């Protein structure tokens, strides 16, 4: 039995093109999510108040679902029907398990629409769901 070294011209090369593609796609994903995070917070909603509400920084991978006063569901500045929202949440749960959803409902929106969104999250097996609220305004201190 003869043991020897593999000649350099027969050594296997690591394919770099797929690795570079993955790095660029990951970079593009994070750039887009940071852009959408700014857009989602700029939609004109009057959030409900809660005495226990806290201001929190956004974390990567959070999905904001906005419910306007007329009951329309808005994601990424686009009105989304409920069946399309279900498809989006299914894909998100498949590719990013453990992701979180934050429902931002207008103060005068219907509870039934929020329940429909919660049901869609449950069917997509997204467990980390929360509602956005703001702390009540403090009355100005006067003389």
Domain ranges of the chain: 16-131
Q: In the predicted model, is pLDDT for residue 105 greater than 50?
A: yes
pLDDT at position 99 is: 81
pLDDT at position 142 is: 47
The CA distance from 113 to 50, in Å, is 20
Six-digit token string for 92: 């998100």
Q: In the predicted model, is pLDDT for residue 42 greater than 50?
A: no
pLDDT at position 55 is: 63
**16-131: what fold?**
Nucleotidyltransferase; domain 5 (3.30.420)
| Residue 141 or residue 7, greater confidence | 7
Give the DSSP per-residue string, 91-132: HHHHHSTT-EEEEEE-TTS-HHHHHHHHHHHHHTT--EEEE-
| Pairing relationship of beta strands 78-79 and 73-75 according to DSSP bridges | antiparallel
Q: What's the average model confidence in pLDDT over 61-78?
A: 84
């Amino acid at each position: 039995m003869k043991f020897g070294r593999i000649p350099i011209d027969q050594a296997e090369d690591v394919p770099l093109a797929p690795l570079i593609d993955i790095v660029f796609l990951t970079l593009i994903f994070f750039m887009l999510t940071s852009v959408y995070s700014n857009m989602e917070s700029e939609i004109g909603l009057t959030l409900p108040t809660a005495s226990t509400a806290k201001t929190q920084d956004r974390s990567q991978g959070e999905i904001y679902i906005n419910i306007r006063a007329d009951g329309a569901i808005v994601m990424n500045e686009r009105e989304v029907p409920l069946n399309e929202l279900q498809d989006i949440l299914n894909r998100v749960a498949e590719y990013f398990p453990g992701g979180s959803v934050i429902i931002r409902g207008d103060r005068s929106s219907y509870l039934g629409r929020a329940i429909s969104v919660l049901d869609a999250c449950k069917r997509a097996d997204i467990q980390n769901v929360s509602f956005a609220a703001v702390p009540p305004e403090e009355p100005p201190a006067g003389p």
